[in-house]
Each structure stands twice: as structure tokens, then as C-alpha cells.
Amino acid sequence: MKRRFLMAELLSLLVAAIAIALVTDRSDPMSPQTLSELRHAPVQVLRGSDGRVARGLRNQAETKNWSGYILTKFDSGETYTSAQGTWSVPAVTYFAGYRAEYSASWVGIGGFCKNLNCTATDRTLIQLGTEQDVSSSGLTDYYAWYELLPHAPKLIPLTVNSGDVITASLQCVARCSASRQSWALIMNNQTTQANWTQILEYASKELSVEWIEEAPALSGRILPLAAYDTVVFDPDSANGSSPNLSLSANGIVMNDPRKQTSNPSDPDSDLDGFDTCWGDGTALTPCSAPSS
């Protein structure tokens, strides 16, 4: 009887230990450790057999972690000191095969290639956006954040829900030609009318501006992309002007290592809006341009 009691007690302790391990698993989007370890990282391009950046049928650059649109200094000759974007926070659902799945929508400066064939990458990246994550149990997590790489992301104290319309901007406000600048970051939840602003110092190379749907990374590994269906982006401005987007010149397609995809549409008729569409890896999901 005593031995049976001890075995039952050991089994109970084992079950409790497993439960604790599951709760604190760092791939769980609800884990308090996750935010400090997540990174909204610089671009990771895919390459063809010739070693050059892989390109889609419309000449879009193909990457492992980014989708959306980008403007670059090596193409335009401009450095970038301001950007603004608006998007609708997508509802995410669990797809299959992972403890948790992740997605991020953001506007930023830096983090892209330094030249056309991406022989070097800009490791500076200042960005702000929303995160949309889901666990295998269907539990979802929506929140706002900003990040100044290589530092960890920080929470923005705005409540975020799926369907909310977010406008975010970043602008250099002092010493913009110096090696270290002063930046104003602003986020507005148009749905709740809540606002947030902060002035920060950062050493940006100012080499690109982007509006991105991303598969974030954890401990250097790109995470599975949450099923987000469609995100509607409106890249309001870059350096104070309309970005005048072109899919062949500025578009980026994501083929996540976990076999999820994110495909940007053509820009709208004003050349300053686009959608991104999620896919499960069998093929890119066709994505139609939004109405202006």
C-alpha cells in the first residue's frame, strides 16, 4: 500500500512538472519570457542557384521573414528619416503543427540590403508595430511594440484588438545627419482613439524604409507564421511624400522556413496602399490590390 502511494505521488509530481514546463515553454505566445526574446529581425533573403537574390514572377525579392514593400537608398539615392503607415490589425487563427504561431505588422527604417544583390545587410533597424500571435489551444495575443535593434522589443501601452486600425510613424527630429539621431515614435489606435508618443536616441544608417508583415524570430530561429488571412496596409508617406510603390521594384514575398507564405498585392491606384495575404506553403495565395 505504501509503495502504491509513493508511486501515485511520484506520478502526480511528474504531471505537475510537465504542466509547469508547458506553461513556461518559450514558444508559448503567452509566456512572459517571449517578448524579451522575440526579434523583429533584419531581412533574410532567399537566393537562387546562381547565388543572387531569388525573385518572384513579378521580380519581387523573396525572403524568409519579410513581406510587403520597401524603398532603398541604393535604388532612390535618398536616406530615409521619416515614415508612416496605417494597417488593420488582422485576426489570427491557429493553422497546424506548432505549439504557437506568430505574426507582426510594422513600419520601420533600416534592416534591409545595402545593395541590389544583398551582399551586405543593414543591421540597424528602428520600427514599431503590432504583434498577432496564437497558441495551439486557440488562445490569441494582440499587442503593440517598438524595437531598436539589437535591443529587445518593448511594449507600447496601447490596447490592441483584431480589427483595430493603427497608424504608426517614426521621424528623425534632431541630429539627422549625425551618427546618432533623435527619433520621435508615434502610434495612434484610430479605433479606440488612444495615442502614444516617445522620443528616443538611435544610431540608424537610414538606408531604407519599409511596411512589413513579418514572421518574427526567437533565439535566431524564424517562427511559424500565424494564419492572418489578409492585412490591409496604407503606407502613408516616406520622407514626407507618397511612396509611389511598384510591385516589381519594391515588393517583397515571404517564404517562411516553416512553409508558410505571405504575398503582397499590387499597389492600389494611388500607388500607396497594398494587401498581404497568408498562405500555407503549397503555393502563394493570390492577393488583390485594395481599392483606393
Alpha helices (runs of H) in the chain, residue ranges in sequence order: 2-23, 34-37, 73-76, 247-250
More confident residue, 20 or 231: 231
What is the average pLDDT value for the chain, to the nearest integer?
Answer: 88
Q: Are 268 and 292 in contact (CB under 8 A)?
A: yes
Q: Are 102 and 225 in contact (CB under 8 A)?
A: yes
pLDDT band (50, 70, 90) for residue 192: very high
pLDDT score of 270: 86
Q: What tens digit of pLDDT does each residue of 279-288 get?
A: 987 778 999 9
Helix (H, G, I), strand (E, B) or coil at 247: helix
Q: What tens digit of pLDDT does each residue of 85-108 get?
A: 999 999 999 988 888 999 999 999
Q: CA 223, CA 226: separation in Å to the nearest integer? A: 9
Mean pLDDT of 177-201: 97
Peptide bond between residue 150 and the one before it cis (omega within 30 degrees of 0): yes
pLDDT score of 170: 98
More confident residue, 165 or 292: 165
pLDDT higher than threshold 60 for residue 18: no
DSSP string, 172-184: EEE-TTSSSEEEE
User: Is the C-alpha dihedral spanning 194, 227, 217, 127 positive or negative?
Assistant: negative
Q: Are 130 and 104 in contact (CB under 8 A)?
A: yes
Mean pLDDT of 194-221: 96
Q: CA 115, CA 112: separation in Å to the nearest integer? A: 9
Query: Phi, psi at residue 75, to the nearest 5°?
Result: -95, -45
Mean pLDDT of 43-54: 96
The domains found in the chain, sorted by start residue, are: 2-279 (2.60.120.700)
pLDDT higher than threshold 90 for residue 253: yes
Range with the largest mean pLDDT of 2-11, 98-107, 201-210, 256-265: 201-210
Mean pLDDT of 265-273: 90
pLDDT score of 148: 97
Mean pLDDT of 213-219: 93
* Chain CA centroid to CA 73, Å: 21
pLDDT higher than threshold 90 for residue 183: yes
pLDDT band (50, 70, 90) for residue 271: confident
Among 30-39, 62-71, 231-240, the minimum mean pLDDT is found in 30-39
Q: What tens digit of pLDDT does each residue of 124-165 get?
A: 999 999 999 999 999 999 999 999 999 999 999 999 999 999
pLDDT score of 29: 52
pLDDT score of 35: 67
Half-sphere exposure of 2 (CA within 13 A, CB side): 0
pLDDT higher than threshold 50 for residue 2: no
pLDDT score of 12: 43
pLDDT score of 150: 94
pLDDT higher than threshold 70 for residue 25: no
More confident residue, 28 or 126: 126
Long-range contacts of 144-150 (CB under 8 A, 24+ apart): 144/187, 144/189, 144/196, 145/35, 145/40, 146/185, 146/187, 146/198, 147/39, 147/40, 148/200, 148/202, 149/39, 149/40, 149/41, 149/42, 149/110, 149/111, 149/123, 149/124, 149/125, 150/123
pLDDT higher than threshold 90 for residue 262: yes
